[in-house]
Each structure stands twice: as structure tokens, then as C-alpha cells.
Structure 1
Amino acid sequence: MEKLLVWTDKFKKIIDWVVERACIAIMAFLTVLVTYQVVTRYVFNSPSAVSEVLSRYMFVWLVLIGGAYVFGLREHMAITYVRDKFSPKIGILVDIFTEWTIAIFAFVVMWQGGFKASVRQMWQLDSALEVPMGVIYSALPIAGVLILVYFVINQLKLIHQFQQLSVKG
């Protein structure tokens, strides 16, 4: 189990690095895009439809990919009041159950549903960008896959923590 955890930590660091850079790039591009939109709207009195639509889509991508990243860090919003009332072992079991619930949602809604929606919308072009809507919708299955990868890594760590507590007590 120890070797597996070492390998998953290295693998997770690589994924984290890629996702962090993607979120930084999206945020930087979004900042430039919104600044451009403000300048064209208020300085030149000629708003850009392309930058408005693209910034909206980029924000959706940022939220979905960033949400998957935060899930991987296990820093997502959680109501721990109930979990904290239990012993540490039961608390870990509650965490495992919570992660399973999120993983099922990510698999069914984000990955399967998002993939189907992306494929269905590949023929329809966005009117402003002239990009297939399926490309825009593909943020859902990408984020879903990221959540599922992080889920496996998180589960291994939680199972290891549970085993460590079982050995101690």
C-alpha cells in the first residue's frame, strides 16, 4: 500500500501541475478578454460580441476545471459538523461515503451526461464564435474525468488512513 501511495502522490502532483497551469492560463486569458471587452464597450462605444461570449464560456471552463482541482485537494466546501461528532474512524468512513456520492455524480452527470451532450452538440455552431457547441460542452466530461481520477487517489489515501487508525486502536 505504501508504494502505491507514493506512486499516486507523484501522479497527483503531475495532474495538479497541469490543472493548475490550465486554470492560470484560463484566468489570464479571461482577464485580458474582459479588459478588452470593457475597453471596446466604454472607450470605443463598440462592444465586441465575440469577447463577451468567449469570456462567458471561459468562465464556465474555469469553474468546472477549478472545481475538479479543489475536489482533488479536498479543500471543497464541506459541512463537517456531523462528521466531527463521530470518532476519527467513523469520520473517515463518512468521508469515504461523501467522496463516493460525489464520484457517482461526476460519473453519471458530468462524464456520461456531459459526453453525450458534447457529442450531440458537435453539429451546432455558436453564432458568435462559430465553434461547435460540443467543444464548449466538453468542459463537463473533462471535469468529470478529473474528479474521478482525484476520487481514486483520495479513496486510496482515506483507506490508508482508516487502516492506520485500525492498527493503532
Structure 2
Amino acid sequence: MQALTKIVNTILKAVTVSVFVVLVVCVVWQVFSRYVLGTPSTVTDELARFMFMWIGLIGAAYTLGMRRHLAIDLLTGSLTGKRKLLSDYFIVLAIAFFSGVVMLYGGGQLVMKTLANGQVSPALRIPMGYIYAAIPFSGGIMLFYCVEFFLGLVNGTGTGPNDQMPDAADTAAK
């Protein structure tokens, strides 16, 4: 499972960096075309918006996998032993429920309905279902990480979803 997780992490890093590069290029061109050329580009404006949606959702999934997401651990930080373990199980199941039902299933339904209706974006003429596909894609990745967390908790080899993974710098210092 760890080998598969490393592959997923590597792919997500590459996709995130690639999307971010396209986003930056679009925004720079948009500013240049608006203020220097005097004719704003509607194509790059729309593309930047779509790239921002994708990078936000993919970044959220990757952040969950790295255990770097925002967590309010006022209660769970003081728990130990069996209560901590039960809390970790509950958190993983809650995240998995949201990821599976809302993002994967609900987002998948949105994609299918949008593709069936034939809705396209105004400037690029891209089917909007492809744009909305970021929701179930991200939900699927989050669900994958939840399975990893859950198996780690069951095997006793993993940490909870709110526990920070050690940084490379922290590990090298020890």
C-alpha cells in the first residue's frame, strides 16, 4: 500500500505543479494582454478560473494525504489510548463518508448530468462536465487516502488523520 501511495503522491505533485504553471502563464498573459495590448483575453481568463478550481480540489486531496489539512484538534489532541484510536476511526470514517457520498457520488452525478445536458463553457467551448470532474476525482483520491489511514489504524502501523507526518528535515535531524 505504501508503494501505491508514493506513486499517487508523485502523480498528484506533478499534476498540481503542471496545473499551477498553466495557471500562472494564463494570469500573466491576461494581465499583459489587458494592460499592454489593451485587449483582454477571454480564453485565458476562463482557463485560469478552471485551473484554479482543479488545483484547489487536487491540492485539498493531496493535503489530506500528507496530513497537512486544517484540523481543529482541541479535543482530539488531549485524548490517549483507546479514546484516541476511536476518535481517529471516527474522523477517518467521517472524511470517507463525505468524500464518497458528497464528492465522488454527488460530484459524479453532477458530471453525468452536465455532460448529458451538453453545457459548454462560454469562451473555450469545453463541456462543463470535464471541468466539474475535479470534484469526483478529488473525492476518489481522498477516499483512497482514507482507506490508507484506516488500514494503518487497523494494523497499528499508521497514524491518525490528524497526526502530522514527520518532515524530511525532522527525520534527518534525528
Report the alpha carbon displacement of residue 162 of structure 1 after superposing the two structures with TM: 7.9
Who is 1:19 aligned against? Answer: 12
**Which residue identity lines up with residue 122 of structure 2 in the other structure?**
S
CA distance in 1, matches of 2:81, 2:35: 56
1:18-68 CA distance string (max 9 Å, x none)? 011000000011111110011001111111111111101100100001100
User: Are 1:31 and 2:30 matched, yes or no?
Assistant: no
Gaps of 5+ in 1: 1-7, 164-169
* Per-residue deviation, 1:158: 2.0
Give secondary structure in 2 for the equivalent of 1:121.
helix
2:39 to 14, 34, 46: 46
Q: Distance in 2 between matches of 1:92 and 1:60?
A: 34
Aligned match of 1:128: 123
Distance 1:162 1:83, change over 3 A: farther
**Partner letter of residue 161 of structure 1?**
G
Which residue in 2 is equivalent to 1:3? none
Matches within 5 A, 1:51-66: 51-66=44-59
Contact 1:70 1:76 in 2 (8 A): yes
Normalised TM-score (structure 1): 0.88
CA displacement at 1:99 relative to structure 2: 1.5
| Post-superposition offset of 1:159 | 2.2
Paired residue for 1:110, among 103, 109, 134? 103
Q: Give the CA deviation at 1:95.
A: 1.8
In structure 2, what residue type is equivalent to 1:30? Answer: L
Cα distance in 1 for partners of 2:63, 2:82 equals 24
Identify the match of residue 152 of structure 2 among 152, 157, 161: 157
Q: Counterpart of 1:26 in 2: which secondary structure? A: helix
How far the C-alpha of 1:161 sits from its partner, in A, is 2.9
Q: RMSD of the alignment, in Å? A: 1.4
Report the residue type matching 1:64 in the other structure.
L
1 or 2, which has the higher helix percentage? Answer: 1
Distance 1:109 1:124 in 2: 22
Give the letter aligned to residue 71 of structure 2: A
Q: Once the 2 structures are TM-superposed, how far is the Cα of residue 92 of structure 1 from its aligned partner?
A: 2.8
